[in-house]
Amino acid sequence: MNKVRRKALSEIAAKLEELKDSLEEIQTEEEEYRDNIPENMQGSERYEQAEDAISNIEEAVGNLEDAIYNIEAATE
């Protein structure tokens, strides 16, 4: 791989890393929201929606981590 394409891939990996960090911040906020739902409402639809959102964000973060890893591997 030439230097230009390697640099372009490195820039993409850096952007994906920034997006991953943003998702992790939102995940933390959603976890705090869920954790502050009163105990008597922990079986509610609101609680379940927060749980689902957290799970989906975790999956998205994992997918971005995989993409970053693969891009970095391609530049070696």
Query: Contact, 31 vs 58, CB < 8 A?
Result: no
CA distance 16 to 14: 5
- Single pTM value for the model: 0.87
Query: How many other C-beta atoms lie within 10 A of the C-beta of residue 20?
Result: 18
Q: Quick check: helix, strand or coil at residue 14?
A: helix
Domain residue limits at 62: 3-74
Number of domains in the chain: 1
What does the pLDDT look like over 27-69, one tens digit per residue? 999 999 999 999 998 889 999 999 999 999 999 999 999 999 9
Each residue's pLDDT tens digit, 16-30: 999 999 999 999 999
